[in-house]
Structure 1
Amino acid sequence: MLMGEYQHNMDAKGRVTIPSKYREELGERFYVSRGLDGCLTLYSEEQWQKRVEQINACPEAQAKNIRRFAFASTEAVVPDKQGRILISPSLRAHAGLVKDVTVIGVGLTAEIWDTERWLKYNEEMSSESLLADMTALQI
């Protein structure tokens, strides 16, 4: 289970350190994709294959935009010996990553956020909207 929040700096080459606890869960090779809300999502091989199967099971006409969003922007990565992954310029642009990044665990996946964007997202999330979501999902 991926949980917690970690602050890191992205270096000038676009490399970000992935916490060792996350690397253990994600595996030796994992996937980086554009996420919703202006972040990047990290998938283990197993979780990525489940996502691929879900998307490919959908009718072409209804899923073409999802396929384009998911597959065109996803890259397989292997962390270096320091636990860093290289994030492509297009993925960095999508998430607004420049220097300060926050890596968070969200259960079966992890996310990489620009730290300022992450803080703003948290400020805007109200207890009322969270409660409404939890009620709707019966959590």
Structure 2
Amino acid sequence: MLRGAHAIALDTKGRLAVPTRYRDWLREECEGQLVCTIDIANPCLLLYPLCEWEEIEKKLKSLSGMNPVERRLQRLLLGYASECELDGNGRLLLSAPLRQHAGLDKQVMLVGQLNKFEIWSETRWLQQVDEDIQALPEMDWTISDKLRDFSL
């Protein structure tokens, strides 16, 4: 179970040190293999253990390439998907295009979301938390039928 928000410094090569409490679990669950892609709704990255990502791929494969919204979702999530492996020191290398998309520089937040992590720039994370708290009472929860059961 991935949860909690962790402030982490990226090194000069763009590597993120996964908190120690998750390293053994990730090595056991997915042999340290993860997949990182963009979040289509927020300026952050999504980091999945490989076994979780494979479930997402099945869902993406089931979407229609003829529906422009569904095709766009496939294009973005799969197009940015990058395999990452925990190194011997528990670090992951985030590719330059992924870091650029999320506006990551030195200080990032690794945020557990049960089956995945979100990776945010620390500044954007703090802004997003404030916005989320303020927006909750006014949100429109309507979504398309096709995407209702689609979870990332």
TM-score by length of 2: 0.80
Gaps of 5+ in 1: 135-139
* CA distances 1:118-139 after superposition (whole Å, capped 9, x unpaired): 00101112266169689xxxxx
Please, what is the CA RMSD of the aligned residues?
1.9
Give the residue type in structure 2 aligned to 1:30. Answer: L
Match of 1:116, SS? helix
Distance 2:140 2:74 in 1: 26
Give the residue type in structure 2 aligned to 1:96. Answer: G
Give the residue type in structure 2 aligned to 1:37. Answer: N
Question: Structure 1 residues 44-53 or 20-29, which shifts more?
Answer: 20-29
Query: Is residue 132 of structure 2 the alignment partner of residue 125 of structure 1?
Result: yes
Match of 1:77, SS? strand
What does residue 48 of structure 1 align with?
Answer: 53
**Structure 2 counterparts to residues 81-96 of structure 1, below 5 A:** 81-96=88-103
* CA distances 1:64-115 after superposition (whole Å, capped 9, x unpaired): 2111101110111111111111111110011100100010101111111100
Query: Is residue 47 of structure 2 the alignment partner of residue 31 of structure 1?
Result: no
What does residue 14 of structure 1 align with?
Answer: 14
What does residue 108 of structure 1 align with?
Answer: 115
Distance 1:130 1:9 in 2: 34
Gaps of 5+ in 2: 142-152
TM-score by length of 1: 0.87
Match of 2:12, SS? coil
| Percent of paired sites with the same residue | 28
* CA distances 1:25-48 after superposition (whole Å, capped 9, x unpaired): 463101111113111111112211
Post-superposition shift, 1:49? Answer: 0.9
Give the residue type in structure 1 aligned to 2:35. Answer: Y
Post-superposition shift, 1:5? Answer: 1.0
Distance 1:108 1:39 in 2: 16
Distance 1:130 1:38 in 2: 22
Give the residue type in structure 2 aligned to 1:42. Answer: L
Match of 1:126, SS? helix
4+ runs deviating over 2 angstroms:
20-23, 130-134
